Amino acid sequence: MIDRIRTLTGEIEGVYSRTLDFDGDFLELAARFAHLPGNVVLLSGSDLDCARWHILGALPYLRLTARRGSMTLAGGSRKFTARRRPLDVLKQVLAVCDVRRHIPPDDASDWPLMAGLLGYLAYDIKDCLEDLPRTSIDDLKLPHVCLYAPAVIIIHDIRKERTRIFITARRVDGMPTLPADQRQVNDLLAAAAPPLEPFSGHAEGLRSNFRRPAYEAAVEKVRAYITAGDVYQVNLCQRFEMPFAGSVFDLFRELFKRNPAPFFAYINAGDHQVVSTSPERFLLQQGRRVETRPIKGTRPRGKTPSEDRQLAAELLASPKDDAELSMIVDLMRNDIGRVCRQGSVKVAHHKKLEVYENVYHLVSIVEGRLDDGFGSADLIAATFPGGSITGCPKIRAMEIIDELEPHRRHVYTGAIGYIGFHDCMDLSIAIRTATVVDGRILFSVGGGIVFDSDPAAEYEETLHKGQTLMNVFNGGVKPAAGQAMVWLNGLLVPAAEAAVPVDDLGLLYGFGFFETIRADSGRPRYLNLHLARFYRTWRHLFGDEIPDLSWAQIITQVLAANRLNSRPAAVKLLAAAGPPNATCRRRTLLVSARPYRHRLAGKTGAGLHLASYPHAHQTPLAEHKTLNYLYYHRAAAWAAGQGADEALITNPDGSLCETNSASLILLRGQMAGLPESLHALPGTMQKVVCRQLRRSGWGIFRKRLMPADLFRADEVLLTNSLMGAVPVLSVDGRRLKAPSNLWREINRTLNIAGP
């Protein structure tokens, strides 16, 4: 691993630095680099003690991106993927790129960063740290880690009004990189500052991933978990999105001008950009010293000096806010204590009032000394994600968040900042943070839910928090208005309110597919077999990344929401392609459930009657349960018109294929025959039944079978996942041989309840 990393980074020979004389605003300087992918800007606003440095990272020579359990490292034209936990790979990169022996002593004491990684760690890397359910949708499909090693770092010291440039000197394939990097950065610095560019968002197109009743119901669910003793607090958020056009960097510039905060950030990740206006420090590491500053407790600024003082005093005196902050402080003390020296962790300042342009916050400062043998990656692993934006206890709170929030959070409530190559780090909590991707801007807002939280007030608070970002567009937050339940793209919603875009190709052309699963006593049957077929079709039709979801838990939620835990149910998993030119980010996923009544219930005969459909069917789409099921729907309606239960489907050459809802098995002697067809759905229950027959000594064969073979068989079975195995009694009014009790024995062995 170390050697492979070194092939990308080259040999680090030192860190070149010089004073940079620059007349003008740091944002104006940063604008010269903003258009370049991999450019990261970290700004400090306000006069707080943690707001001192402006940092620009540009011209990256290494990019780290991770999703799930692997990390891709790219440098120049080379890259490789390590199938390991992202933070384990990060630890290796920090070891390879350690520059401590190359840093002049004066720079080491005077400047926070000279070489390192800049970017973000998404909230979702929690899944690589803990065994957590995944029942919310990852609709963005963006990296869970996105970090850049810039060749050039420019830092401005706000207090001393001085600026310095640092360039990592490397040797790649025997050639020094410093001369080329110096020329490129000098050219960019000498170029004229780019003009301000317009940006626009369409507030009238703003929508939330929660309807108000659903958000308030989620708050009540959290309160119920608190009452049950599961948790003390859960941070619950909703996500807003709307169309966006124009310059993301100028949105960043405008936000900073309106409401400066200590941890502003702009990240140009190429296919997406991140803008953060966070006030909260997650982790600071300076050598062995560690600091975290959790925030809990917020009040708006008053409109008059008297009102302003009253609101500040109210926040300081609030028992609720004091209790919440104390709880998170204890959590963070415990987290950093996992990697800090025993006895070194202490609360340096509790319930400090911090003043911002629009709000007051309560902040505590927790400090510790990193123990020997631990570094930056270990500190992140011990504390991520920050307790102030999950809840307490953290793991159970994260499980509840994933259950109740419809979408993965991505960068929101993750971390943004730098991780140095010389034993230093400064990361903020990614709140008040927006992502621009695919012509949309998305941002999330939330709050800590406790037992005495009022659902309506909590919902209104998310709107107020979102207002800061929306004000820059001269618009306000206008959420969507607010029975069978379905799971749609990560959220349980009333079936009557579930909707897909009118241009979804699944709606227009049936471009999608589904899987029907039987559930008994709240548990899906043969789920792995169904998912294998579901994923095979996903790869064949969509050709992109399959969804990373805990389907069993999603199905359990849907069954419970529909009160189907104690009776047979038919569960449907559905995937639609989304709008034209959609990527994996815009697919529609839906899970529904309904009560299931066996096909033979209420019938006088113990079997089904078939009618031969006059229209042969053969298409490659028949190999998948696509949404283009109109042929089978019409075949079923035709059979009912003939007084039959099922339509017998044949291939163009007249050979047997299947029925409109089931697979065929022809039994003769001790042999089971399966019709051969170029294009027919591989039946999940047919596979299960054949496996059971094989165990009982039957031989299985697949061949071209004709309708006449139905009458030569000792008996004919139909199979699907809902009804199990059911005998065929007649075809086109002509009786088959009377069935034995084999079908009942099969269903009893498979524990499939009959009529």
The three-state DSSP-derived secondary structure of 386-434 is: CHHHCEECHHHHHHHHHHHCCECCCCCCCEEEEEECCCEEEEEECCCEE
Is the pLDDT higher at 509 or at 697? 697
Residue finishing a domain among 471, 494, 519: 471
Q: Which two structure tokens, joined as six digits, stand for 710?
A: 């139905």
Domain annotation covers residue 300? no
Question: What's the CATH number where 18 sits?
Answer: 3.60.120.10
- Using N-to-C axis directions, what is the helix angle for 684-695 and 527-541, rounded to 10°? 130
Same domain, 448 and 573: no
Options 280, 354, 367, 515, the catalytic residue:
280
Where does the pLDDT of residue 621 fall: very low under 50, low under 70, confident under 90, or very high at 90 and above? confident
Q: Picking from 26-40, 211-225, 351-365, 678-692, which range would have the lowest pLDDT averaged per residue?
A: 351-365
CA atoms within 13 A on the CB side of 407: 24
CB 461 within 8 A of CB 189: no
- pLDDT score, position 426: 97
Alpha-carbon gap, residue 671 to 572, rounded angstroms: 33
What DSSP string runs through 107-131?
HHHH-S-SSEEEEEE-GGGGGGTS-
Q: Which residue range is the domain that position 694 belongs to?
A: 608-749
Alpha-carbon gap, residue 688 to 697, rounded angstroms: 15
Where does the pLDDT of residue 151 fall: very low under 50, low under 70, confident under 90, or very high at 90 and above? very high
Would strands 281-286 and 424-429 be described as parallel, antiparallel, or unpaired?
antiparallel
Cα–Cα distances (Å) from 252 to 240, 429, 430, 666, 726, in that order, read 18, 17, 15, 68, 64
DSSP tag of 262: T
Burial label for 553, CB within 10 Å (0-12, 13-18, 19+), is: middle
Same domain, 76 and 189: yes
Question: Comparing C-alpha atoms, which of 357, 366, 358, 298 is closest to residue 331?
Answer: 366
- Using N-to-C axis directions, what is the helix angle for 319-337 and 376-383, rounded to 10°? 140
Q: Picking from 58-62, 338-342, 487-491, which range would have the lowest pLDDT averaged per residue?
A: 487-491
Residue type, 670: Q
Same domain, 68 and 174: yes
CB 123 within 8 A of CB 153: no
CB 149 within 8 A of CB 116: yes
Alpha-carbon gap, residue 450 to 645, rounded angstroms: 55
Same domain, 616 and 698: yes
Domain annotation covers residue 14? yes
Question: What's the CATH number where 577 sits?
Answer: 3.30.470.10
Cα–Cα distances (Å) from 755 to 169, 539, 663, in that order, read 77, 37, 20
Q: Which two structure tokens, joined as six digits, stand for 297?
A: 């407790």
CA 315, distance to chain mean position in Å, is 34
Say how many domains are in the chain: 3
Q: Picking from 96-105, 140-149, 503-512, which range would have the lowest pLDDT averaged per residue?
A: 96-105
Domain annotation covers residue 173? yes
Question: What's the CATH number where 712 sits?
Answer: 3.20.10.10
634 CB-near residues (< 8 Å, 6+ apart): none
Domain annotation covers residue 602? no
Same domain, 578 and 628: no
Alpha-carbon gap, residue 465 to 444, rounded angstroms: 9
Average pLDDT over residues 249-273: 94
Question: Comparing C-alpha atoms, which of 277, 660, 725, 702 is closest to residue 465?
Answer: 277
Cα–Cα distances (Å) from 362 to 52, 160, 200, 312, in that order, read 20, 28, 34, 10
Q: What percent of the chain has pLDDT over 70?
A: 97
Residue type, 562: N
CA 432, distance to chain mean position in Å, is 18
Would strands 608-612 and 724-731 be described as parallel, antiparallel, or unpaired?
parallel
Would strands 175-176 and 78-82 be described as parallel, antiparallel, or unpaired?
unpaired
Q: Picking from 50-64, 144-158, 197-211, 713-727, which range would have the lowest pLDDT averaged per residue?
A: 197-211
Q: What φ, ψ does residue 563 adopt, rounded to 5°? A: 55, 45
Domain annotation covers residue 318? no
Question: Comparing C-alpha atoms, which of 349, 366, 419, 369 is closest to residue 99?
Answer: 419
Same domain, 614 and 467: no
CB 721 within 8 A of CB 526: yes
Same domain, 51 and 111: yes
Domain annotation covers residue 299? no
Q: Using the CB atoms, write b or e for 342-372: b if 16+ within 10 Å.
A: eebbeeeeebbebebeebbbbbbbbbbbbbe
What DSSP string runs through 447-475?
EEE-TT--HHHHHHHHHHHHHHHHHTTT-
12 CB-near residues (< 8 Å, 6+ apart): 97, 99, 102, 115, 168, 169, 170, 421
Same domain, 133 and 228: yes
Cα–Cα distances (Å) from 564 to 490, 522, 556, in that order, read 20, 7, 9
Q: What percent of the chain has pLDDT over 90?
A: 70
Same domain, 182 and 97: yes
- pLDDT score, position 584: 64
Average pLDDT over residues 569-589: 86
Domain annotation covers residue 361? no
Q: Picking from 98-102, 514-518, 673-677, which range would have the lowest pLDDT averaged per residue?
A: 98-102
Options 126, 141, 296, 625, the catalytic residue:
296
Domain annotation covers residue 26? yes
Residue finishing a domain among 420, 447, 471: 471
Q: Is 385 helix (H, G, I), strand (E, B) or coil?
A: coil
472 CB-near residues (< 8 Å, 6+ apart): 251, 254, 255, 258
| Predicted confidence (pLDDT) per residue in 44-66, tens digit | 987 788 889 999 999 999 999 99
CB 528 within 8 A of CB 516: no
Cα–Cα distances (Å) from 118 to 56, 62, 150, 160, 416, in that order, read 9, 11, 8, 24, 8
Q: Which two structure tokens, joined as six digits, stand for 342?
A: 């025993």
- Residue 365, pLDDT > 90, answer yes
CA 163, distance to chain mean position in Å, is 39
Alpha-carbon gap, residue 51 to 158, rounded angstroms: 8
Polymer length of the chain: 755
280 is catalytic: yes
Strands (E), 209-253: 233-246
Residue finishing a domain among 534, 567, 595: 595
CB 244 within 8 A of CB 201: yes
Same domain, 715 and 624: yes
Same domain, 64 and 106: yes
Considering the chain, what is the average pLDDT of its residues? 91
Alpha-carbon gap, residue 387 to 402, rounded angstroms: 15
Question: Comparing C-alpha atoms, which of 49, 19, 257 is closest to residue 159?
Answer: 49
- Residue 627, pLDDT > 90, answer no
Q: Which residue, chain included where needed, has tokens 């490659």?
A: 620
Neighbours of 600 (CB within 10 A): 18
Average pLDDT over residues 375-402: 95
Same domain, 587 and 625: no
Average pLDDT over residues 344-348: 95
- pLDDT score, position 729: 97
Q: Is 282 helix (H, G, I), strand (E, B) or coil?
A: strand
CB 642 within 8 A of CB 634: no
Alpha-carbon gap, residue 631 to 615, rounded angstroms: 9
Residue type, 755: P
- Measure the CA angle with vertex 513, ends 507 and 519; round to 5°: 120
Average pLDDT over residues 236-242: 92
- pLDDT score, position 476: 47
Cα–Cα distances (Å) from 725 to 612, 683, 734, 748, in that order, read 20, 12, 21, 10
| Predicted confidence (pLDDT) per residue in 166-188, tens digit | 999 999 999 999 999 999 999 99
